[in-house]
Amino acid sequence: MKFGGIVTAMVTPIADDQTINYEEAGRLAKWLVDRGNDGLVVGGTTGEGPTLNVDERMGLFRAVKAAVGDRAAVIGNCGTNDTHTAVALAREVSEEGAVDAILSVVPYYNKPTQDGMVAHFSEVAKACVKPVFIYNIPGRTGVNMSASTLLELAHRHRNIIGVKESSGDLTQFGDILRDRPKDFIFFCGDDHLFLPSLAMGADGVIGVATHLCSMEFRRMAKAVHEGRIADAAKIHFDLIPLFKALFATSNPIPIKWAMRELGFNVGAARLPLGPMPEANKPHLRTLLHRYRETVAV
């Protein structure tokens, strides 16, 4: 399976009664692929993975894969802060074949040591028959996986094939990209750092704004690969207001609100996340006007 360069961390549609709207998940997945996404991360941070139980995650993986088939890669988030549960879920999901790869996050809250991370992900890798992407997001987990730890895991386990790197640290990006094994996939996990990560050789992005502007991201990547840096910078500059608006409060509150504005029945974020602040709505609503003409819902 090729994972491409433009991947969206998809929101999870949640009905008013707090159940998962699997039908809408399939409809949204198809729409995202139609708009140029090479892949979808399901049940990640933007998909409210920490609030989804095992049955809900499995149902989402099945619904999205059934909707997109082989048109796009489906990467299912199987990570949690408990190694036993993370291993069991990774084994179940990979053996069923409902996803093309799994995403497994650095354990949150526990603040594991670097050697603890090596042991944790080694157990996940040994249990999984599907490719594994490690997800490093210290702003959520409370601890950073160092470049040396990631590279040790990448060299030790052949099925650890890539990373979603959301540290926001371009020096760390560079350390990984300089020393990564051949064919190890580097996805930038910070929308606003996609352009500088491309300049260092990143393979793609797993984004939030890509719900709305996947085609702009693709044009940005194409411009960089063709040496048209000024053109890539212009696209990046044009997207900065959207990046700011989508991260003005905790993700995925703004992007779920935006997708509802565009006609998708994704519902609000589950507690403990609150509603979209009223003060943030007018600016994001203005930015959304440019996307309305390309939305068919």
Q: What residues are labeled active site?
A: 135, 164
What does R_g of the chain's alpha carbons equal in angstroms?
18
Strand (E) positions, the chain? 6-9, 39-42, 73-77, 101-105, 132-136, 160-165, 185-188, 204-207
Please name the residue that has the structure tokens 């028959």: 129
**What's the distance, Cα to Cα, between the start and end of the chain in Å?**
29
Q: Which residues pair with 132 in a beta bridge?
A: 102, 160
Residue 218: CB partners within 8 Å, gap ≥ 6?
5, 6, 36
Name the pairing type of β-strands 73-77 and 101-105.
parallel
**CA-based nearest residue to 88, from 57, 48, 109:** 57
Print burial letters for 118-151: b (CB count within 10 Å at least 16), e (below 16): bebbbebbebbebbbbbbbbbebbebbbbbebbb
